[in-house]
Amino acid sequence: MNTSEDFIGQNDKSCKLYFNTSEDFIGQNALISYLSDNNRTTKSYRGFLKNHRDIIIASIDTTLTLDNWKNLDNIWTVRFLRKEKDFPDLKNKNIKNSMDLFTIISKLENNQYASIEEFEKDIRLIFRNCYIYNDIGSEMHILGEELESTFNKIWTEKIDFQVKQKENLKRTQNNNTDSSSELVTKQIRILEQNKDKLVYRQVVNDALLIASAYENLVANNILPFIELLKTFLSTRSQISLSSANEPVLQAIVENLLPLKYRIPELSLVMDGTKLKGFGRFGYSDIFILKGIGNNNISLELKYIPLVELIKNQKKKFNTNDLENLDKIIEKEDEKILLKRSYEYWSKEHNETKKITIEEILNNGIKQLKSYMNIISKGNSNDYYSSGIFDKRIKITKSNPNKLKGFVILVIGFRRILWKSVEEITSNYSYETI
């Protein structure tokens, strides 16, 4: 923000650009005469303008454009303030703490007010200075009183509105707290009444496992979640090995995370310059909100059906063959496993493609990194700028947050590989709507 000296210096430059100025500028004598007139009980800049409008216009260079008229008031304000310092009778009304609307606007634009009280204090200072400088009954004193009266009316309405908003918010929060407390109390009562029933005990145990795995995950420890996923997959029927795919894996993983803290298939604008279907949009498989944890987590899920792996070994196979392969892969050395080939149908090339498990894993890491970079940018304003474009999530500017990611690759029902990617710092906070 410019100091008053900076402001004066800037306007002197404007004088040289737009006015015929020298040591004795046009209108200087009229200004001195106005300030030295002892018959005037009130001397103000506005009064000078009213009495010497023709002289001020005469001082303007003929080449002055319409846009440069904006500088006219600033230039003569500076001249008036400078000259008034030469008159002792005006020095008695010097303002100790100056304030003006330009300064207030600048402080607002640069977020320099820590509270509305600070803003009000500066506004009140303008009125107080007006009353000190201008005599009671003078035109400027009366205008100041009228303006302060208008401000008081608007300010009172604003404060009343804020108070009502806070009361409504507090009432809503209290109601929500009461409802939540009642719900928790009811749940505890139900569990207490059914503590000897196995099904209730099992449900509680499962919920605790999910909660614990989630807390570890947002603390950057994925191992408890991987173990939970393995346990769940082990309950699947072996006959479903032939039909399992990534959507099935997606549904399983979603059910192992708290509903409030996970957003499946988070919609992203990857590159607004590309066409739909050719790289403009992307979808992060599961975005996990940190809640009270340290990290927001992005999961990229990959599933390799055993059917596509066994095709390299047998043209004809049955459920038993798939189950045996599942058991082999469960214990297979990771380096050997990564070299296994996987066949899939490519829609893009309209033909069968062959790729190794290692390539699939590395592609997942690359894809996840690109998603995380977009997520860290916050909201996308439209389809043409990169960022999150999803109505299910609220994004606000905040202190730096950590964004971490994991690729989870499941082969069959018994083997899970996972890799972490380098964390990214985001200056946004995320929460579900």
Q: Are residues 120 and 237 in the same domain?
A: no
Identify the DSSP state of 236: S
Q: What angle do CA 413, 418, 423 make, to 5 degrees?
A: 150
Query: What separation in angstroms does the CA of 209 have from each of 231, 271, 405?
Result: 11, 39, 21
Q: Are residues 147 and 216 in the same domain?
A: no
Q: Are residues 148 and 205 in the same domain?
A: no
Place of tokens 């149908």: 345
172 within a domain of the structure (yes/no): no
Residue of 6, 51, 7 whose CA lies nearest to 30: 51
Under 8 Å between Cβ of 302 and 286: no
Q: Are residues 247 and 364 in the same domain?
A: yes
Instruction: Domain of residue 325: give its range.
Output: 198-432
Under 8 Å between Cβ of 432 and 406: no
Handedness of CA 62, 67, 72, 74 (dihedral sign): negative
> What was the pLDDT predicted at 12?
39
pLDDT in tens, the chain (433 residues): 333 333 333 333 333 333 334 445 777 777 777 777 767 666 666 677 777 777 766 666 544 454 455 566 667 666 766 666 666 555 445 667 888 887 888 788 767 787 788 888 898 898 888 888 777 888 888 888 888 888 888 887 776 666 666 666 666 556 655 566 677 677 778 878 887 888 888 888 888 899 999 999 999 999 999 999 999 998 888 778 778 889 999 999 999 999 999 999 999 999 888 877 788 899 999 999 988 778 999 999 999 988 888 887 787 888 888 889 999 999 999 999 999 988 777 777 788 888 899 999 999 999 999 999 999 999 887 777 899 988 899 898 888 889 999 999 999 989 999 999 999 999 999 988 8
List the beta bridge partners of residue 264. 286
163 within a domain of the structure (yes/no): no
3-state DSSP assignment of residue 403: strand
Query: What separation in angstroms does the CA of 174 have from each of 75, 170, 185?
Result: 57, 6, 16
> What was the pLDDT predicted at 9?
37
Q: Are residues 123 and 226 in the same domain?
A: no
Cα distance between residue 255 and residue 421, in whole Å: 24
- The count of structural domains within the chain is 2
> What was the pLDDT predicted at 54?
73
3-state DSSP assignment of residue 291: coil
Cα distance between residue 103 and residue 1, in whole Å: 8
Q: Are residues 378 and 313 in the same domain?
A: yes
166 within a domain of the structure (yes/no): no
Q: Are residues 205 and 130 in the same domain?
A: no
214 within a domain of the structure (yes/no): yes
Under 8 Å between Cβ of 288 and 261: yes
374 within a domain of the structure (yes/no): yes
Q: Are residues 220 and 100 in the same domain?
A: no
Under 8 Å between Cβ of 6 and 40: no
3-state DSSP assignment of residue 269: strand
pTM of the complete model: 0.57
3-state DSSP assignment of residue 19: strand
> What was the pLDDT predicted at 293?
76
177 within a domain of the structure (yes/no): no
139-193 and 198-217 helices, crossing angle to 10°: 140
Q: Are residues 296 and 364 in the same domain?
A: yes
4 within a domain of the structure (yes/no): no
> What was the pLDDT predicted at 332?
94
Q: Are residues 303 and 420 in the same domain?
A: yes
Q: Are residues 140 and 249 in the same domain?
A: no
Under 8 Å between Cβ of 277 and 290: no
Q: Are residues 236 and 327 in the same domain?
A: yes
407 within a domain of the structure (yes/no): yes
